[in-house]
Amino acid sequence: MKVHSHLKNGAHCTTCQVPTDGDYQVIFQKTQDIIRKKIPEAILAKPADFDGIYDGFIEDLNKAGAEKMESEYTELVKQRVSLFTGKEVK
């Protein structure tokens, strides 16, 4: 995933490295497995079944730890932007 931020002096923060060890990678892999399974299921579902499949999809992602992973990634982006701007990002 690329995060584009235009910073002072024309600098860019285009990518952020994510941890290669620990919970982040485990959670990331679990979420990718869920996405690969549930997206086609939702696309191929009858319209009447879509909301239930989507709700289950979100529930599965949250059980896998997606919110924790998202929070960690947000902090990495903030650190990266702070590094380039010299300002604290809230």
Q: Can you give the pLDDT at residue 12? A: 53
- Contact indicator for 64, 27 with CB cutoff of 8 Å: yes
Q: pLDDT tens for residues 15-52? A: 677 878 788 999 999 999 999 999 999 999 999 999 99
The model's pLDDT over 2-12, given as tens digits with 9 standing for 90+, comes to 444 444 544 55
| Percent of the chain's residues with pLDDT above 70 | 83
**Structure pTM?**
0.72
Query: Which long-range contacts does 30-38 make (Cβ < 8 Å, 24+ apart)?
Result: 30/64, 30/65, 31/61, 31/64, 31/65, 31/66, 31/69, 34/60, 34/61, 34/64, 35/61
